[in-house]
Amino acid sequence: MKTLIIGAGSDLGVHIDGAHIGPVQLASDLQSFYKGDKLSFIQDESILKSRNLSDRRKNEYDIDKFNTSVYKAIVDNYNKEDIFPILLGGDHSVAVASALASAKKYTDIGIIWIDAHGDFNTFDTTITGNIHGLPLAAITGYKNHELRYFHDGNTINPQNAVVVGARSLDPAEKDNLRYAGVTVFTTEDIKTRGVDAVMNEAFEIATKRTKGVHVSFDLDVIDPSLAPGVSVPEFDGLTVEEAMAINKNIVNHFDHVVSYDLVEYNPLRDIDRKTEQIAINLIAQIIKNAEKKDKYGKIDLTQHQAEQYKIKIVPPKEEQTETNPGFKIVPPSEPTPEPTPTETITQPPVETPQPTVEPTQAETPQPTLPQLDRL
């Protein structure tokens, strides 16, 4: 399937500057291996950004204007051909445009929101007035209609919405999530249950009676000691390996995924380009697999793109420069190492029994939100 990269360079949803530069930097990095179509939207530099602590609707008009342009561009491209949109933010308020554009195209979709925050405040419950803390509520139709006035389709059913990696929720925001029926998996859930268990359940919820899933990945889900380049860091986060495992699980469910965001990269707060390296590897993995999807959304492993964009993660080094950012995209011509005899021996036994009977509804209880009480 044809991919479309959308750079949504806006940080109007947060009082910290810098996230609007993130998409520009990442799009520049992608030029070494991505030759597909790109769109770029940058906030008007003449805007006087509000930072007033008493302003509970910071930059609302300008955010709506920006998101309207992004939304219409994605919808227009959907109408022309089958595409897989990959949006690079920008603060997380830009996801209102991308998620609702996919909802317009597919009518009924679920959403998986990978984020240290719930982003489920309303204009009544927000403490900071930063609109990047309100987008998921707007996307799922829970108040905040002012942020989606440009959308004339369905909102996403909150019972098909899942937050993954939450560890910083406002008290009133927790109530909003409960009332709306959104499922929340905390960072602690990932640490105790494992990535695969959490993500498999997240996709089970998001795909129930839907026609696809929009994934929105906020880099602040990763611990800021490992990924410092975000505007609002929250400590005790995920490791880089866990973040990559989440992305791999998304790829494993790619027949359901219809669009993807990667947001909140702030180059002004990055150190030694650590966060940039992580972001590029996440995006490259998505591009590689998106281009293997056929027009029905299935992964076609026979296509030429199956061997493109192999990714090798290189740990950041002190000597990194602009020409050596600390990550490497392995060219298709580089051979994949054959497994050694030791690797073959350690494979799981063939006789491992596979489940043959689907668990009953009684055996698989519906997800609840008791974990919110622990935050």
Instruction: State the helix-helix crossing angle for 240-252 and 195-206, rounded to 10 degrees.
Output: 40
Cα 3 to chain center, whole Å?
16
End-to-end CA distance of the chain: give it in Å, rounded.
Answer: 41
Element containing residue 246 per DSSP (H, E):
helix 240-252
For 180-217, b/e burial (b = at least 16 CB within 10 A) is bebbbbbbebbeeeebeebbebbbebbbeebbbbbbbb
Supply the residues annotated as catalytic.
92, 115, 117, 119, 132, 218, 220, 264
Strands of the chain, DSSP E? 2-9, 37-42, 83-89, 110-114, 161-166, 183-186, 213-218, 257-263, 310-313, 327-330
Is residue 374 classed as helix, strand or coil in its secondary structure?
A: helix
Q: Count Cα neighbours of 26 within 13 Å in the Cβ-side half-sphere.
A: 38
Q: Count Cα neighbours of 287 within 13 Å in the Cβ-side half-sphere.
A: 26
Distances in Å between the alpha carbon of 117 and those of 219, 265, 279, 324? 11, 15, 18, 32
Q: Count Cα neighbours of 76 within 13 Å in the Cβ-side half-sphere.
A: 8
**Distance between CA 327 and CA 365 in Å, rounded?**
42
Write the single-letter amino acid at 371: Q
Report the side by side order of strands in the sheet with 2-9.
37-42, 2-9, 83-89, 257-263, 213-218, 110-114, 161-166, 183-186
